[in-house]
Amino acid sequence: MGKVAVGAAVVCAAAVCAAAALVVRHRMRSSGKWARAMAVLREFEEKCSTPIGKLKQVADAMTVEMQAGLASEGGSKLKMLISYVDNLPTGDEKGLFYALDLGGTNFRVLRVQLGGKSGRVVKQEFDEVSIPPHLMTASSEALFDFIAAALAKFVAEEGEGFHPAPGRQRELGFTFSFPVRQLSISSGTLIKWTKGFNIQDTVGQDVVAELTRAMERIGLDMRVAALVNDTIGTLAGGRYTNQDVVAAVILGTGTNAAYVERAHAIPKWHGLLPKSGEMVINMEWGNFRSSHLPLTEYDQGLDVESLNPGEQIFEKMISGMYLGDIVRRVLCKMAEEAEFFGDTVPQNLKVPFILRTPDMSAMHHDTSPDLKVVASKLKDILEISNTSLKMRKTIVELCDIVATRGARLSAAGILGILKKLGRDTVKDGEKQKSVIALDGGLYEHYTKFRSSMEKTLKELLGEEVAANILIEHSNDGSGIGAALLAASHSQYLEVEEP
């Protein structure tokens, strides 16, 4: 073999060795990055853990805060607002009742004909109306005149099957999903607008009086019988179909709970005790916080950058508005510290709330062998393509960690309410059923969240007690529930009672 050939062979061998070393180095580097990404995920998983012992501590803390909030105004992070609803529907209600549901940029008007125990909801109709954007920042009069006009138009279309009682005023339940200081069953002053509304001359005013004046201006003869929020509407709708309903929980974009309390167990109530002996309490449970909540650096980051830092901590861990963004924040850290998506951090990954909870749910429920849905969501929303199956599986696991923590904490909150009511144990020989009415898009559409929550509640209660606790989906509480509350607080009830 000539010297040239030997030289060439040596050079060749050196090149092969160098290439092999590069490959090994690249593999070591990428496996090092993967290990770093996994370390971020595992640390997050550990901080999110919700063993049964911890959940029971959360439930106990919820019960303690409930008691403190009932004892005095401002005594707790939970407002425990007195709703003045002391008559929940029984199923005996009869007649034609209306509801107005105002909670965002659209409002709904609804009518129901109730037929008592035998007929129940004989017929119902509703209409949805968009509020022109300029009215959301105009004057109080302009907004309520617009709403009253839509209501009058809806009343004018009353057709077959709806029978207003002769000589009686029509009655309306008003669901108003903004912060209100309730003064009675049919009055409350606006504390502040949210959700894009900003009409200064309504703040501090009684919203029922505003609506009533607007109806009078156009000659619409209708009385607002009940002013409620969507959670109390859900409780009323649930109770109408099932008398064992003791509480309602909304798990949607936001979250809240309401329940039926014994009136004598409310120290801050100074009025006459209601005849029923009961009072519905609007907990505003989204504002619950406790040292037992498994908060992470990502929750703290989300809170600091939110519109209401330090408030609604429980809501920020469990509701649909925030779950997707927690996933995004963890992915962002994996991208920054471990180059999870390559050398650069994808720009869209830095945009708050770009990853919505419905998208997170779609990825979490992806059953295709190559996780096609995950791939398309990453591409369409975050503009990340060329992901490996291993990466996509990791993202599904991250969705599972966030959803499971939220679901299990929701279950702990429900246990807290059952404890406050003394319904978390089985009394000797007693088989009292307790039903929780649930509504909201997160509960309705995020299947893995729902089943994790229900499974956790059973686990927390134990088999024997769990057999007496039921969760029921109470659809459209905020609409029909408000009409039912107008019926159960009708001015004509006394007339009809023998």
Which among 76, 83, 86, 108 is annotated as catalytic?
108
pLDDT value at 482 more than 90: yes
31 is catalytic: no
Confidence at residue 474, expressed as pLDDT on a 0 to 100 scale: 87
Our count of domains for the chain comes to 2
Confidence at residue 164, expressed as pLDDT on a 0 to 100 scale: 81
Confidence at residue 314, expressed as pLDDT on a 0 to 100 scale: 97
Confidence at residue 348, expressed as pLDDT on a 0 to 100 scale: 96
pLDDT value at 24 more than 50: no
pLDDT (mean) for 28-51 = 90
pTM of the model: 0.88
329 is catalytic: no
Domain hosting 324: range is 51-81+242-475
pLDDT digits (tens, 9 = 90+) for 257-311: 999 999 999 999 988 889 899 999 999 999 999 999 999 999 999 999 988 899 9
Helix (H, G, I), strand (E, B) or coil at 60: helix
Choose one of 228, 260, 289: the last residue of a domain. Answer: 228
331 and 469 in a single domain? The answer is yes
Which among 76, 83, 140, 177 is annotated as catalytic?
177
| Confidence band for 21, pLDDT divided at 50, 70 and 90 | very low
Rounded CA-CA distance 180/203 in Å is: 10
Which among 145, 206, 230, 359 is annotated as catalytic?
230
358 and 410 in a single domain? The answer is yes
184 and 289 in a single domain? The answer is no
Confidence at residue 8, expressed as pLDDT on a 0 to 100 scale: 55
284 and 166 in a single domain? The answer is no
Output the domain CATH number for residue 106.
3.30.420.40
Count other Cβ atoms within 10 Å, centred on residue 315: 21
From the list 231, 316, 225, 208, the residue with the least C-alpha distance to 281 is 231
**What contacts 334, CB < 8 A, 6 or more positions away?**
37, 40, 41, 340
pLDDT (mean) for 342-369 = 96
Instruction: Please state, rounded to an integer, the average pLDDT across all residues of the chain.
Output: 91
pLDDT digits (tens, 9 = 90+) for 312-338: 999 999 999 999 999 999 999 999 999
pLDDT (mean) for 433-458 = 96
CA distances from 291 to 276, 314, 398 (A): 37, 11, 24
344 and 391 in a single domain? The answer is yes
pLDDT value at 26 more than 50: no
pLDDT value at 239 more than 90: yes
The answer to whether the CB of 434 falls within 8 A of the CB of 243 is no
pLDDT value at 17 more than 70: no
118 and 62 in a single domain? The answer is no
Output the domain CATH number for residue 334.
3.40.367.20
Confidence at residue 3, expressed as pLDDT on a 0 to 100 scale: 56
95 and 203 in a single domain? The answer is yes
352 and 403 in a single domain? The answer is yes
Choose one of 205, 228, 251: the last residue of a domain. Answer: 228
pLDDT digits (tens, 9 = 90+) for 70-111: 999 999 999 999 999 998 999 889 999 999 999 878 899 999
